[in-house]
Amino acid sequence: MVEFLRFRDDVPHEEPAVTLDAFLGQTNATAVRLESDEDARKLLPQLGQLALIEIAFPKFRDGRGYSAARILREAGYEGELRAAGDVLVDQIPLMRRCGFDSFVPEAAIDPAALERALGRYDDVYQKAADGRSPVWALRHG
């Protein structure tokens, strides 16, 4: 069972994440944590200085973080994007598509189940933040 998953090759970022308020109030932090009701767009002016953005999932039903992640990726953020909290195996493939590349699930995850979930679909129907070509592009490639 794994408690931390990371789909990046660079060195993990060590600095603790600060709250959004703290981040907006100070200029030099490089890691921030967004609660699910906080507006990801507030980070856009200072995206360049960030190496880690952690997005909270207080309940797996709370899907706001999926939009937050895409907004950050669409704005060009390339640092680590972490989903933390009530993150379940069956959600990780969707989260990956939205741009998350690291995970700190509350309950440890069975790596075999995760591997099955991640490899399940060869193709996807829509463009998202993971660069995969949707089937409409493959059909008209």
Partner 1 sequence: MYKYDQYDQAIVDARVEEFRDQVQRRLAGEISEDQFKPLRLMNGLYLQLHAYMLRVAIPYGTLDSRQMRMLAHIARKYDKDYGHFTTRQNLQYNWIKLEDAADILADLASVEMHAIQTSGNCIRNISSDQFAGAAADEVTDPRPWAELLRQWSTFHPEFSYLPRKFKIAVIAAEEDRAAVKLHDIGLQIHRNDAGELGFRVFVGGGMGRTPMVAPVIREFLPTADFVSYMEACLRVYNRYGRRDNIYKARIKILVHEIGAEEYARQVEEEWAHVKTLGLDPPAGEFERIAAHFAPPAFEGGLSDDLDRTDPDFALWLDQNVKAHKQPGYAIVNISLKPVSGIPGDASSAQIDLMADLAERYSFDELRVTHAQNIVLPHVKKADLYTIWQQLEANGLATPNLDLISDIIACPGLDYCSLANARSIPVAQKIADRFAGLDRQRDLGELKLKISGCINACGHHHAGHIGILGVDRKGTENYQLLLGGSGAEDASLGRITGPGFDEDGVVDAIERTVEKYRELRTEGERFLDTYRRVGMDPFKEAIYG
Contact status: 98 vs partner 1 (CB under 8 A): yes
Of all helices (H) and strands (E), which one includes residue 83? strand 80-85
Q: How many residues bind partner 1 (CB under 8 A)?
A: 39
Dihedral-angle region of residue 76 (phi above 0 means left; psi in -120 to 50 means alpha; beta otherwise): left
* Beta carbon nearer to partner 1, 2 or 135: 135
Among 83, 97, 102, 105, binds partner 1 (CB under 8 A): 97
Among 74, 78, 106, 115, binds partner 1 (CB under 8 A): 74
φ, ψ (nearest 5 deg) of residue 5: -125, 140
Distance CA 16, CA 134 (A): 36
Among 67, 106, 108, 111, binds partner 1 (CB under 8 A): 67
> Least distance in Å: CB of 111 to partner 1?
13
* Beta carbon nearer to partner 1, 10 or 122: 122
Q: Which residues bind partner 1 (CB under 8 A)?
A: 39, 60-64, 66-68, 70, 74, 88, 90-91, 93-95, 97-98, 110, 113, 116-117, 120-128, 134-140
